[in-house]
Amino acid sequence: MSQPNILIIMSDEHAPMFSSVYGHPIARTPNMQRLAELGATFDAAYCNSPLCMPSRMSFMSGRFASQIGSWDNVTPLRSEVVTWAHRLRDVGYDVALSGKQHFGGSDQLHGFQQQLARDLHAERYHPIHTWDDGIVPAEQPWHEVYNAGPGWSEELDCDELAQQRALEYLRDPARKRRPWALNVSFIAPHFPYIAPQKYWDMYPPEQMDLPQLPDGHLANLHPMAQRIRLMFGFPQFPDEVVRRARAAYYALISYFDAKIGELLEALEATGQAENTVIIHLSDHGDMNGEHGMWRKSNFYEASARVPLQIAWRGQIPAGQRISQVCSLVDVAATICDIAGDVCPLPLDGESLLPLLTQGDSHWKDEAFCEYLAHGSDRPMAMLRRGRFKLNYSWGEPPELYDIEADPGEFRNLAGDADYAGIVATLQADLLAEWDPAALDRQVRSSQRQQQYIEARFGAGWRASS
């Protein structure tokens, strides 16, 4: 078979630094370590929008969220937008989805030939938050942190079903007849922070670490972060509450990691491991208490960075650590490159294969990320190039961080005269093709129209959007 199979294993809300393969001293991820030994692990991979739907629609289309008009959890991908699933079908692949991809509206496939399981987050109602209303403070502290602990949830039911159906798909003799691409996608470790007892027991709360919070740091956060803390209800939670929430988050990561192991075993048992590309990634991270925040929706490393591992026996050298910067649109381009995509329509990313196979010295070494959803009241974007990351919030002072020297992002260099040239260059490049004023008009118009229809006719309009 000249075209390899492609297995995409996707988690939800997994910040890579909370994994043993990325150096965390507590969170155990032995199967991620196994993948690292089989292929390449990226140390600076980013999502293109730190929120479920826009991140996943960007990944599926290989286009930035603002290019496809999918900027929040209530603006689904339009059916005419070409995805990598369409592209792979066009060159002969059987393309299947098992689990979450957060497709909204009536189109639940967007190029996939079948959904094997259930997409819980696509089924659920997401409220409309309009920028016109400004930042509405949360009425109480975010309950998910207080509710963390052992147990079971509907989310875990969905993950079990996604895994069961994915394993059935891999074991089906029909997989031998043509190349296939399977996107098996889990909700873990996304909140609720409720973990199966087996994994909860691995992480006694009293032994958990606490976020890094230097004295005075929370009071000096950028207005972007202050808005998020206010709207989502993130006070400085008591240490014992934080430890329990982090314990549950680590437990869910280990739960997901076990799923990776089961999928790898299925490939081996069915004789498909030699001819299957394995791609492991997440849609965005989770702040997990860092910088006084939880969830995502910002450009700090724990929110915008994602785990990324790619293994392909005989083609990608094993045991690689890739330090160059990339993003999920590059992964979409890589999937298309591997499959032999012939679609002439544009992609916003570049294939990672030259970097993986030849150590490409000409790699762009940058990632663009944008945020156009709730928790903000204006367009925001990030450009990381090399060691520097610029955070841009329209109408507010920028932030600049040297991620190599300051991985915790505690020293904003934007006001330092020694870095003025770097700020000016990165900001000019970020704004060259990204127009915050135009996006502000587009997003607000979309929100007003959605709010009008829902207020008068209910939320059922989304089912046919």
Give the list of residues 6+ apart from residue 72 with CB closer than 8 angstroms, or none.
51, 53, 54, 129, 372, 373, 374, 443
For residue 359, the model assigns a pLDDT of 84
Q: What is the dihedral of CA 426, 429, 433, 439, to 10 degrees?
A: 20
Q: What pLDDT is stored for residue 463 in this prediction?
A: 54
Other residues' Cβ atoms within 10 Å of the Cβ of residue 8: 19
What proportions of the chain, in percent to the nearest 5, are helix, strand and coil? 40, 15, 45
Q: Cα–Cα distances in Å, from 304 out to 146, 201, 270, 329? A: 24, 29, 36, 14
Cis preceding linkage at 189, omega within 30 = yes
Spell out the residues 6+ positions from residue 114 whose beta carbon is closer than 8 angstroms to its own: 96, 97
Q: Do 184 and 99 contact (CB within 8 A), yes or no? A: yes
Residue 6, beta-bridge partner list = 181, 277
Which phi and psi angles does 402 have, rounded to 5°? -95, 100
Here the tokens at position 422 are: 């770097």
pLDDT by residue (tens digit) across 210-247?
A: 999 999 999 999 999 999 999 999 999 999 999 999 99
Amino acid (1-letter code) at residue 101: Q
Q: Which residue, 182, 242, 179, 238, is CA-closest to 209?
A: 242
3-class DSSP state for residue 182? strand
Q: What is the pLDDT of residue 464?
A: 43
Please give the Cα distance from 166 to 115 (Å, whole number). 10
- Out of 14, 47, 52, 158, the active site residue is 52
Q: What would the DSSP string read from start to end of 255-306? A: HHHHHHHHHHHHHHHTT-GGGEEEEEEES----TTGGG--S--S-SHHHHEE
Q: Catalytic residue, from 86, 102, 110, 280: name it.
A: 102
Report the length, in residues, of the chain: 465
Residue-level pLDDT at 2: 83
Instruction: Give me the pLDDT at residue 273, please.
Output: 97
Q: How far apart are CA 377 and CA 437, in angstroms?
A: 12
Token pair recorded at residue 202: 């691995």
Q: Which residue has the tokens 């972060």?
A: 225
CA distance 194 to 62: 32
pLDDT value, residue 465: 42
CA gap 250, 288 in Å, rounded: 10
The C-alpha atoms of residue 441 and residue 433 are separated, in whole angstroms, by 16
In single-letter form, the type of residue at position 198 comes to K
Is the Cβ–Cβ distance between 6 and 175 less than 8 Å?
A: no
pLDDT 10s per residue in the chain (465 long)?
A: 489 999 999 999 999 999 999 999 999 999 999 999 999 999 999 999 999 999 999 999 999 999 999 999 999 999 999 999 999 999 999 999 999 999 988 889 999 999 999 999 988 888 999 999 999 999 999 999 999 999 999 999 999 999 999 999 999 999 999 999 999 999 999 999 999 999 999 999 999 999 999 999 999 999 999 999 999 999 999 999 999 999 999 999 999 999 999 999 999 999 999 999 999 999 999 999 999 999 999 999 999 999 999 999 999 999 999 999 999 999 999 999 999 999 999 999 999 999 999 887 789 999 999 999 999 999 999 999 999 999 999 999 999 999 999 999 999 999 999 999 999 999 999 999 999 999 999 999 999 999 999 999 887 766 544
pLDDT digits (tens, 9 = 90+) for 409-422: 999 999 999 999 99
pLDDT of residue 459: 76
102 catalytic per annotation: yes
> Angle CA(237)–CA(243)–CA(246) in degrees, nearest 5?
100
Give the separation between CA 465 and CA 460, rounded to whole angstroms. 9
